[in-house]
Structure 1
Amino acid sequence: MQLRLPTLLSFNAGYIDTASFLAIHGLFAAHVTGNFVTLGAALVTDNHSGALAKLLALPMFCIAVIASKLIDQLFLSQQKSSYTFLLKSKFTLYLLAALISVKYLPFPEGDHWPAFVVGMLLICGMAIQNAMHRLHWVKESPTTVMTGSTTQLMLDVGDLLSKSEKTDKVAIKTRFKKILPVMISFAIGCAIAAIVYHFALMWIFFVPPALMILIYIKKDQYAK
């Protein structure tokens, strides 16, 4: 599997979602709607840890997406591209999260400010990645949530199994080549985050800013 931009981005999303879930008491940084589930569970159990972060995850995500759009419009008004600025913003957010976390990990249970701030920084970074799919990576497969991609692949498998004459095997093959590496990379990111959490917790949030350097190097490898 080649280290193309989409696979790096999906690895980043899988890694951050798992790392935040494990280290910040059930907070999803990429799959933010999942926080409604964990928030609901927290409200009816004795474990209310991180409830504030889960409650504010979606509003923070929305604010970051709106900010990304406004920044993009500002650059466009100056006949420039927001592409590199948004990538650098992601790196800055991840680096701040890493620097804060290395001092306070492991985060205690409850709504303590270090865990809350780190969680919000990671959510903002993932919000930018989601926004960039609509602003710059329009032709690329989604890299943050795999539900839609999995659905499309299974529909394609169903088409192949049906042996219908209307099945466009060339189009299906093209989609498989684009989507499958992204899904595998996301899963690998999840697994690596779990391993780092177990063996090197203090450094778990240093992987995303390091990965952003590689993403920046590969920033022009996307479908235009």
Structure 2
Amino acid sequence: MTRLPLSVLLSFNGGYVDTAGFLALQGLFTAHVTGNFVTLGATLVTGGSDALPKLLALPVFCLVIFIARIAALLLQKAQRPVLKFLLAAKVILLFAAAIFSVAHGPFSSATTIANLVMGMTLVSAMAIQNALHRVHLAKSPPSTLMTGTTTQIMLDLGEIMVGGKGESSALALTRVKRMSVAVAAFAFGCACAALATATIPLWAFVIPAVIGALSFAARIATPEGD
């Protein structure tokens, strides 16, 4: 049986967690910080009450990546498996979020302690995913941001259309195939999250935790440390 690449599972989870977090936690982007700047600005202007999670998301995101990098370097010096450690830390956080959601959801107000705990737990998990992807899967398309990937796909399609059958067009075609899989997995994750949040809101966050656990059996396309 062919194993799915790790990057595909990460892309699915990136889309799923970001969408589920946005829907369940009043517009909080948990997998990337750019969107929170936009929603924070809008909240400050409109006078909404959900500014605190968006304000905390960036420092929490940065701090977790910083700590994860230090831990990874220490493990590397000790000749320990870094990637598995980071995956385990992310999965533990996702399972913690799933249990917390079942116990305290649904989350109706962004100002409650429960919402802050849930939101920052998910932000921390996705911060670790961003860090491990950047270091260990550098040749794979990003798993939480599709803007750059989509831009590159369109550039490569233009190259293929004009360039004919040259070497640059062949490289572009290879890139398009690889990046299209990442975009499709991310989009599928978004759709699944929207469906799960609407139908099983308390249990919606169990799915990314299970997918995260399956990551240990996934195929790693690039060597550790790449």
TM-score if structure 1 supplies the norm length? 0.93
**Structure 1, unaligned stretches of length 5 or more?**
none
Letter in 2 for 1:136: H
Give the superposition deviation at 1:19.
0.2
Task: Determine helix, strand or coil for the equivalent of 1:79.
Answer: coil
Q: Aligned residue for 1:88?
A: 88
Whether 1:9 aligns to 2:10 is yes
Whether 1:78 aligns to 2:97 is no
Superposed CA RMSD in Å reads 1.7
Give the superposition deviation at 1:71.
0.7
Contact 1:64 1:124 survives alignment (8 Å) = yes
Higher mean C-alpha deviation, range 157-166 or range 127-136: 157-166
Q: Distance in 1 between matches of 2:67 and 2:74?
A: 10
**Structure 2, unaligned stretches of length 5 or more?**
none
Give the superposition deviation at 1:46.
4.0
Q: Aligned residue for 2:69?
A: 69
CA deviation profile, 1:102-144 (whole Å, cap 9, x unmatched): 1221112241111111111111111111111232112222111
Q: Aligned residue for 2:124?
A: 124
Whether 1:40 aligns to 2:41 is yes
Q: Aligned residue for 2:220?
A: 221
Q: Aligned residue for 2:153?
A: 153
Higher mean C-alpha deviation, range 29-38 or range 13-22: 29-38
Q: Aligned residue for 2:177?
A: 177
Q: Distance in 2 between matches of 1:165 and 1:212?
A: 40
Task: Determine helix, strand or coil for the equivalent of 2:71.
Answer: helix
Contact 2:26 2:109 survives alignment (8 Å) = yes
Q: Distance in 1 between matches of 2:32 and 2:167?
A: 32
Give the superposition deviation at 1:162.
2.5
Q: Distance in 1 between matches of 2:177 and 2:25?
A: 34
Q: Aligned residue for 2:202?
A: 202
Q: Residues 93 and 161 of structure 1: is their aligned pair in 2 closer, same or farther, counting only changes over 3 Å? A: same
Contact 2:160 2:173 survives alignment (8 Å) = no
Letter in 1 for 2:20: A
Task: Determine helix, strand or coil for the equivalent of 1:204.
Answer: coil
Percentage identity across paired residues of the two chains: 43
Task: Determine helix, strand or coil for the equivalent of 1:139.
Answer: coil
